[in-house]
Chain A
Amino acid sequence: MGRRALSHRHSPESLEDASKWHTRALEEMASNHVPEGQKAAAKVLSQTIQTQIINRISARLSLEGLIDEILLIFQGRPDLLESIWPSLERISYSNRVRDDWVTVARSQHEQ
């Protein structure tokens, strides 16, 4: 029986790259002059969102490590793996990150 694959997975490297890219973008955003009026509020909002993105990527990165660790612990024990699988699927779904958060870093890097 072939092993099912968990959905929403990303490689640690791509997540690390994405985290770096978003952090750099956030730093750049913070270093710009703060415009007046609504633009200032929009900037604060986008910085908050950017921070959230970085946090979610960081959580996903940690989760990827956890999933790999559990797969290793249950290696050779398909019965136990089967038993924990629904939990892994639920956590993986709850912590999915948007593909464009990850691909933006790659596409920018390639440019």
Chain B
Amino acid sequence: MSSNGLWAALLEIVHVSSQCRNFWQDGLDFSRKWRKIVADISNPETSAIGQSRSRLAQQIECLDSHCEESLNQAKAALASAQRSLSSVGKGEPADSNDLALLEPWRYSIVQERLEGRSEEGAATSPPGHLGREIRELGREMFTAAELDSTLKPDFLRTRSNVIAIWLGKVDASEPVFGILSEIRITLVDFLRILDDQPEWHRAIGAMEERLGMHDSQILGLESEVQSLRREKIIEWGG
């Protein structure tokens, strides 16, 4: 490869790896903030809400780890590409370790250009690399989720949208696919619980209303209200 060709290839790797780094950084912030919100849900572990919350927390932790690992890989590729560019700019040979690290990135970029994101391309992508569509969509996707999350329950809905978009842009062979799929399943369950909240609030509210009445002492009502509240109403705690 001519030095001009190498220069152009390195520039493109810098561009792509920098987009990937930004995506994973945003993804990491996204999942960490989400973990905090989910940790605020204070229902008992034995309740349906508590069980769903625990599953979701574990899955988000996996996503968090995956984002962090991928971020480090993208950062390493970016640093190698920048060092190599600097060497080539000075007319010196690039470090062979850097070039070895960048080879799969160059291959993926060439594949992407030739045929779009193919299954083969996705399977052989280096860790931290993302397909064009998702890496270009990342910032918009994560920012929209934050802007739309004015209330705590909204976090689950906006993040569900992000997960659906993200899942639609990754290949089943990519490690993140499994993590996102599991999160999706748990979120469907959690959103169903959230959707039932107005009815539960009304029903438990009707019961609580009678607790305050002086002329009626409905036996056992208070303990049933407390138990139903713990089981059926999402307590956001914190």
A pairs with B: yes
Interfacial residues, chain A to chain B (CB-CB below 8 A): 55, 58-59, 61-63, 66, 69-70, 73-74, 77, 80, 83-84, 87, 90-91, 94-95
| Cα–Cα, bound, A66→B202 (Å) | 11
- Which residues of chain A are near B216, meaning CB under 8 Å? 58-59, 61-63
Cβ of A83 to closest chain B Cβ, rounded Å: 7
Cβ of B208 to closest chain A Cβ, rounded Å: 10
**Secondary structure call for the B interface:** helix
In the complex the two chains form, is A63's CB within 8 Å of B218's CB? yes
B115 on interface, CB distance cutoff 8 Å: no
Give the number of A-B contacts (CB < 8 Å).
55
B55 on interface, CB distance cutoff 8 Å: no
Q: Known contacts A62-B213, A87-B227: does B206 contact A69 (CB below 8 Å)? A: yes
- Which residues of chain B are near A95, meaning CB under 8 Å? 218-220
Q: Known contacts A77-B199, A87-B224, A90-B224: does B217 contact A66 (CB below 8 Å)? A: no
Cβ of A75 to closest chain B Cβ, rounded Å: 10
Q: Known contacts A62-B213, A66-B210: does B199 contact A80 (CB below 8 Å)? A: yes
A-B contact pairs, 13 of them (CB 8 A): A55-B217, A59-B216, A61-B216, A62-B210, A62-B213, A63-B218, A66-B210, A66-B218, A73-B199, A73-B202, A91-B218, A94-B220, A95-B218
Cβ of A95 to closest chain B Cβ, rounded Å: 5
Cβ of A67 to closest chain B Cβ, rounded Å: 10
In the complex the two chains form, is A84's CB within 8 Å of B206's CB? no
| Cα–Cα, bound, A95→B232 (Å) | 23
| Cα–Cα, bound, A63→B228 (Å) | 17
| Cα–Cα, bound, A74→B207 (Å) | 14
In the complex the two chains form, is B220's CB within 8 Å of A70's CB? no
